[in-house]
Chains A and B, each alone.
Chain A
């Protein structure tokens, strides 16, 4: 076992890790279970976290790669009765059904909007192409993203 430390949801944390351990496993065994197990091969996006401002699949990142970096998980948005604007938009558009993929989608969207508050439709499709949803058919997810982008642009519609 070796020690690493990184900023997790704004707090400096230290962890003992097995060198072969993935970030997904490390987060979940430390109670950050909003990061979901999915395909474990970087295809489905359900284990998405934000690393230094970029959405990444935590199943594809070794835990040691997080050393000295800033990691954001879905738990960072956990404020009772105060959903994040992305969560709000997904609910309003009916873009959540079973909900298993939702944490990953929220974090991919957060990374996108943090970098560019007003993405166009094409950018939304490119930036969100790493998250599978087997319930909603994607249209409602995209319309939630478009709604947020329009809100940031100040569109009245």
Chain B
């Protein structure tokens, strides 16, 4: 993709005006790393939004509000009880990329290897988006109509992401398979569970990298609901529903290996989430 011009926006309203003005040529950019992977025949006008005041992490009641321009490095180094995105940030490419890439960019242009979309599906993230007006949307709803490599929020600006603070009885599990520490993910899985009196009250599972676009695993989630929060439940999971998923094996994996790997990874992340939930959400 080629950049033919650039403008700077210092307010969300200014960025939105540039978006409208440049139409199909407009390309929002903060860290800018995705431009390497976006294919476009038309030359773009880059709208540099890196100076917009939508960065940083704050805690409000039992949720974390994350500015779309928060870098992965800031996510890694944020310290607060019930904060789990540092696990994801730690496995993000390398320090130079963590310093410049933003969580908003990772969600706005979803590639098969993108880490945060999978995690936010599992955590049921909420998004604040602005175009002619500001609205809050659920990430699962947004992703239903999205496809890979395209601008997720065309003609609008993602401002904030909201995720739950993990408190006692909640747990999170995350796994990213890759060939080397800086490589793209070849299989990403994430799980969230909430337990009550030893039973699974809520479960969300998400899968990425081995599918064209991140997906929730609703059938497996249903199987977990209301069951005992222990390893015996995980051992009994029926994976037949995975047959409905169109897998895209990466890194020369065979389809059989890919399916097997995903079963193992699903077990791992559920166990990790259950352990955390049983241990008190620490």
Measuring CB to CB, which residues of chain A are less than 8 angstroms from any residue of chain B?
A: 2, 19-20, 41-43, 45, 48, 51, 54-57, 60-62, 64-65, 67, 108, 126-130
Contacts and interface: CB of A to CB of B under 8 A. Distances in A.
A19 B36 CA distance: 15
Interface in B36-67: 36, 46, 48, 50
Interface stretch (B90-98, B117-125, B201-209): B90-98
Contact of A130 (B3, B90, B182): B182
Given A19-B5, A19-B46, A43-B182, A65 B32 contact: yes
Contacts of B48: 64-65, 67
24 contacts: A42-B36, A42-B94, A42-B97, A43-B94, A54-B73, A55-B96, A57-B96, A57-B97, A57-B100, A60-B36, A61-B100, A62-B6, A62-B29, A62-B46, A64-B6, A64-B48, A65-B48, A65-B50, A126-B90, A129-B95, A129-B181, A130-B93, A130-B95, A130-B96
B132 interface: no
B17 interface: no
A48 B96 contact: yes
A42 B184 CA distance: 12
B269 to A, nearest CB: 22
Nearest to B96: A130
Contacts of A127: 95
B100 A41 contact: no
Contact of B32 (A43, A55, A60, A129): A60
Contacts of A45: 94, 96
B50 to A, nearest CB: 7
Contacts of A48: 96
Contacts of B8: 67
Given A129-B181, A130-B182, A56 B96 contact: yes
Interface in B177-202: 181-182
Contacts of A41: 36
B33 interface: yes
B2 interface: yes
B179 to A, nearest CB: 12
A41 B34 CA distance: 11
A108 B2 contact: no
A19 B48 CA distance: 12
Given A42-B33, A54-B100, A2 B6 contact: yes
Contacts of A67: 8, 48
Contacts of B46: 19, 62, 64
Top 6 closest A-B pairs, CB basis? A130-B94, A54-B99, A130-B96, A130-B95, A64-B6, A57-B96
B4 interface: yes
A130 B32 contact: no
Given A56-B96, A56-B99, A56-B100, 15 more contacts: A20-B2, A45-B96, A48-B96, A51-B99, A55-B95, A57-B100, A60-B32, A62-B3, A64-B48, A65-B32, A67-B8, A127-B95, A130-B95, A130-B96, A130-B182
A15 to B, nearest CB: 14
Contact of B4 (A19, A42, A54, A108): A19
Given A42-B93, A65-B48, A19 B6 contact: yes
Nearest to B100: A56
